[in-house]
Structure 1
Amino acid sequence: MAKLDAVILAAGLSQRMGRNKLLLPFGESTVIGRFLTNFPYGLFAQVIVVIADQAVEEIARSFPVQICRNEHPEEGKSSSIRLGLEAGESQRGILFSVADQPLLTGATIMKLVEVFRNNPSRIVLPKVGGTSASPVIFPADLRIDLQKLQGDEGGRKVIQNHFERKLAVDFSSPDEFYDIDTDDNYQDILRRWKKSH
């Protein structure tokens, strides 16, 4: 069975944080280093990391990924989505993930991919505590819709436009899907992680 592509969005400007959140220390690594260490590369035909920062690129190059540089990150999330789509070739589907979820596990991604393989026309995403989260798998036929996104629009708009195709997979651990937008988020997730180690 043909594999999916994965696009990891790592070109954000971290405006609410005021510094690049992906480079913040996390254990013996960084936020993005830990994320990429946990990523299950073998599940995908290509894993594309969209970056804007040179230091993020240097970390990503230590992993089996294709680097895609976003020269205009100020244009918003949609610009990174388009670049990731252009770099991929999968005719089955594309997983989109954000890079600021350092506790996301390979097992969780594996489960999402398995559900998609059994439901290849659906938009598959995790749900925890009644709330939808990232990463999200889109069938390949929604590429055009994703390419039409503008500004800081993300995949959520495409999900809303094809709500009948949404398939949420329940998970019990909110920590995995906790992403970092502010310094308070960062301190909170560090505390949660340290408690479990």
Structure 2
Amino acid sequence: MEKVTGIILAGGKSSRMGRDKALLSVGNATNIERIKKELESFSSEIVIAANDQQPYAFLNVKIIGDVYEEKGPLAGLHACLEQSKTEWNFFAACDLPFFSQKIADYMVSKTKHEGIEGVVPSVNGRVHPLYALYKTSAAPAFERQLKRNQLKIREALNQILIYYVSKNELIDAGFSNEEIERAFYNMNHPEEFEWVTKQFD
């Protein structure tokens, strides 16, 4: 299998949740620990994208801060791609309580497509750019967007060739509808976190 770096995007403002989503306890571990464990199953290295290192120091992994600060998640993608030691990099947002290693493995298998610089899911009409693979060679395109202050990731994706993984493709590959829906569920509000905790009772 292609060697990849597993990168967790942490340290966002979490304004809707009111507290750091990465450090919320889900089951018997914090959300970021759960994602780290899943990424470790197929990654050669785990990295955290965050400007404040202290909250995540307990994970004992490399933490990379933004080169372009206050520019949102696109800056996190760019900074980690710039420092990556592997051709491909799997990025996961820190608010994915049901992150699926099996779906991630399937996505990694799609990096073989010639010429692409990203593998991004598109499920139920929604693109998931923070549950995706990017090639290190995409860094310059992302940097150009940052320099222009064009910070929407959807716009940045238009600058590189992306292989989009559809829900139908995942179903054809043997994943159930429920498995897909849960994998891409992200928690932004307190009531969503409460629902997630009940799933682990």
> C-alpha distance in 1, partners of 2:53/2:63?
11
Inter-partner Cα distance in structure 1 for 2:193 and 2:158: 29
Q: Tell me the residue number matched to 2:173.
A: none
CA distance in 2, matches of 1:100, 1:7: 13
1:188 is matched with 195
Root-mean-square deviation (Å): 2.7
Match of 2:134 among 116, 135, 138: 138
Identity percentage of aligned residues: 19
Shift of the alpha carbon at 1:10? 0.9
Q: Answer yes or no: is 1:82 the counterpart of 2:81.
A: no
Q: Structure 2: give runs of 5+ residues left out of the alignment.
A: 171-176
On the 8 A contact 2:122/2:164 being kept in 1, the answer is no
* Contact kept in structure 2, 1:35 and 1:100, CA below 8 Å: no
Distance 1:45 1:37, change over 3 A: closer
Q: What whole-Å deviation, never above 9, does each CA across 1:81-121 have from its counterpart, x for those lacking one?
A: 2321232122x3322221210211211111110122x3142
What letter is aligned with 1:183?
A: P
Conservation of the 8 A alpha-carbon contact between 1:178 and 1:189: no
Q: Distance in 1 between matches of 2:158 and 2:53?
A: 31
- Secondary structure of the residue aligned to 2:158 is helix
> 1:72 offset after TM fit, Å?
8.0
Q: Is the 8 A contact 1:11 1:50 kept in 2?
A: yes
Following superposition of structure 1 onto structure 2, how do residues 141-180 of structure 1 map, counting pairs within 5 Å?
Answer: 141-150=137-146, 153=151, 155-162=153-160, 165-170=162-167, 171=170, 172=177, 173-180=180-187
**Correspondence for 2:123 among 120, 125, 128:** 128
The secondary structure found in structure 2 opposite 1:43 is coil
Matched residues in 2 for 1:153 and 1:66: separation?
Answer: 25
CA contact (8 A) 1:22 1:56 kept: no
Distance 1:179 1:167 in 2: 19
Whole-angstrom distance in 1 between the partners of 2:187 and 2:5: 24
Residues 50/93 of structure 1: CA separation in 2 closer, same or farther (3 Å cut): same
Could you say what secondary structure the match of 1:48 adopts?
A: strand
AA of the residue aligned to 1:158:
A
Q: Distance in 1 between matches of 2:27 and 2:152?
A: 30
The superposition leaves residues 36-59 of structure 1 with CA deviations (integer Å, 9 ceiling, x where unpaired) of 1222x253343221122522332x
1:94 pairs with 2:89: yes
One-letter code of the match for 2:137?
D
**Residues 1:166 and 1:72: Cα distance change in structure 2 (over 3 Å):** closer
Structure 1 gaps, min length 5: none
Partner of 2:64: 68
Aligned with 2:47: secondary structure? strand
Aligned length: 186
| 2:103 paired with 1:119 | no
**Equivalent residue number for residue 174 of structure 2:** none
Q: Shift of the alpha carbon at 1:78?
A: 3.0
- The secondary structure found in structure 2 opposite 1:186 is helix
- 3-state DSSP of counterpart to 2:108: helix
Q: Partner of 1:15 in structure 2?
A: 15
Give yes or no for contact 1:13–1:73 (8 Å, CA) kept in 2: no
